[in-house]
Amino acid sequence: MTFDVSLDNLNCLFFPLETKLNIVDTPDSPSLETLCDYLSSRADQWRTTNDWPREALAACATAGVYRWFMPQSAGGLGWNDVDQTRGYLRLAAADLTTTFIITQFIGACRRIGGSENRQVADRWLPRLISGDAFATVGISHLTTSRRHLGKPVLSAITVDQSPVRYRLTGVAPWVTGGAHADVVVLAATMPDGRELLAAVPTDLPGVECGGGADLVALSASCTDQVALHDVEITAEHLIAGPVNEVMKSGVGAGTGGLQTSTLAVGLARAAVNYLKSEAVKRTDLCLVAETMQHQADELQQRLLLAASGQVCDASEIRGDANRFVMRTTQAAMTAAKGAGYVQGHPVGRWCREALFFLVWSCPQPVASAQMCELAGIAV
């Protein structure tokens, strides 16, 4: 299947700006710098749930960002995992809110594109890749959210004993950009414990997407719960399942991967770059800035090696990335002094954004190790 994505058309529709964006076809392309300069210059505008970063997302569509992650056979650029990681590192340093939204969008596209049910892929992929439709995911209740409750928060039952008709009831507690989505990839649990994944159109009767919760940071990602009031889905919506452990099935599968660490290291890089720029005029900062730059390079190298398939402990990288983003953003705040504590200074935003990595899809062993460290307990 190929998709004709006319970049010139997208440029006119979405990006009537002074900066003309060219396609970013490799992570070394100078166009990536132009895109990131644009994103970073606007990142502070995305503050509240009323500030969905439409233009930033459109700029990314124009620059072909969504195509990095898609195979050439589907009209994408087919970047390998290392190049995707390099791309995400740059984007996250420029604008974490927009980059985070993209990860959820791409997560949804991957699940839809990787489904054995071609009906679902054919229906959604062309519009998703061209930027004409937006998709997101609500799956964390199978991995890191509400696991202690002992009963599923989103359940599926068969309708009239049909193997292709299901009724969904409950909530997906965390869905980024649900109110802006045309389709949400949702996970639900059957009474016998099997799980299914479905691409649920947001205009189906009974789907209620929250407009966005006020968060410590990233509020403009419009993350909220999606409630399902007896929503009926059929074979055309099914991505996978019902099976045991549906998250381990199919293309685009896998949780606790390197993506969260990548965004943390990207944000840390923004803080390190700030320290470096301050150190130019403040020699007392040179040693700290250089040391942290060296550490950022090392951590990035480990991430890229892991992305290239080298055996690695993803949890260890995640723990290190979490620690590093906290250290670097707080070092940047210390360097920026009171000026950094005033709303509008990017350093304050980075410090708040860094806290996100303590909670976003954080595997329990990483969270436990972090708690012991904070408590001064040696493990």
Between residues 69 and 274, which has the closer beta carbon with respect to ligand FAD? 69
Q: What's the closest the beta carbon of residue 337 comes to ligand FAD, in angstroms?
A: 28
Q: What's the closest the beta carbon of residue 218 comes to ligand FAD, in angstroms?
A: 5
Contacting residue, 148, 151, 281, 337, with ligand FAD by CB under 6 A: 148
Please identify, among the stretches 83-91, 173-181, 227-235, 329-337, the one whose residues bind ligand FAD according to the rule CB under 6 A: 173-181
Q: What's the closest the beta carbon of residue 315 comes to ligand FAD, in angstroms?
A: 15
Q: What's the closest the beta carbon of residue 172 comes to ligand FAD, in angstroms?
A: 7
Please identify, among the stretches 9-17, 21-29, 132-140, 344-352, the one whose residues bind ligand FAD according to the rule CB under 6 A: 132-140
Between residues 149 and 378, which has the closer beta carbon with respect to ligand FAD? 149
Which three-class secondary structure string do you get for the chain? CCCCCCHHHHHHHHCCCCCCCCCCCCCCCHHHHHHHHHHHHHHHHCCCCCCCCHHHHHHHHHCCHHHHCCCHHHCCCCCCHHHHHHHHHHHHHHCHHHHHHHHHHHHHHHHHHCCCCHHHHHHHHHHHHCCCCCEEEECHHHCCCCHHHCCCCEEEEECCCCCCEEEEEEEEEEEECHHHCCEEEEEEECCCCCEEEEEEECCCCCEEECCCCCCCCCHHHCEEEEEEEEEEEEHHHEEEEEECCHHHCCCCCCCCCCHHHHHHHHHHHHHHHHHHHHHCCCHHHHHHHHHHHHHHHHHHHHHHHHHCCCCCCHHHHHHHHHHHHHHHHHHHHHHHHHHHCCCCCHHHHHHHHHHHHHHCCCCHHHHHHHHHHHHCCCC
Residue 115 within binding range of ligand FAD, rule CB under 6 A: no
Residues in contact with ligand FAD, shown as a per-residue x/- string from 335 to 374 under the rule CB under 6 A: ------------------------xxx-------------
Contacting residue, 89, 175, 200, 268, with ligand FAD by CB under 6 A: 175
Q: What's the closest the beta carbon of residue 74 comes to ligand FAD, in angstroms?
A: 23
Assigned token pair, 287: 């040693």
Contacting residue, 11, 97, 104, 262, with ligand FAD by CB under 6 A: 104
- From residue 272, alpha-carbon distances to 15, 78, 244, 280, 370 in Å are 30, 30, 43, 13, 22
Amino acid at 199: A
Please list every residue from 185 through 204 that binds ligand FAD, using CB under 6 A: none
Between residues 11 and 49, which has the closer beta carbon with respect to ligand FAD? 49
What sign does the CA torsion over 136, 138, 143, 146 have? Answer: positive
Between residues 27 and 363, which has the closer beta carbon with respect to ligand FAD? 363
Question: Measured between alpha carbons, how far is 67 from 70 in angstroms, rounded to an integer?
Answer: 5
Residues in contact with ligand FAD, shown as a per-residue x/- string from 198 to 237 under the rule CB under 6 A: -----------------x--x--x-x--------------
Between residues 64 and 170, which has the closer beta carbon with respect to ligand FAD? 170
Residue 53 within binding range of ligand FAD, rule CB under 6 A: no
Total chain residues near ligand FAD (CB under 6 A): 22
Would residue 150 be called left, alpha or beta, if left means φ above 0 and alpha means ψ between -120 and 50 degrees?
A: left
Between residues 222 and 296, which has the closer beta carbon with respect to ligand FAD? 222
Q: What's the closest the beta carbon of residue 356 comes to ligand FAD, in angstroms?
A: 6
Question: Measured between alpha carbons, how far is 289 from 163 in angstroms, rounded to an integer?
Answer: 60
Residue 60 within binding range of ligand FAD, rule CB under 6 A: no
Between residues 49 and 144, which has the closer beta carbon with respect to ligand FAD? 144
Q: What's the closest the beta carbon of residue 221 comes to ligand FAD, in angstroms?
A: 6
Contacting residue, 49, 85, 140, 328, with ligand FAD by CB under 6 A: 140
Residues that bind ligand FAD (CB under 6 A): 104, 136-140, 144-148, 173-176, 215, 218, 221, 223, 359-361
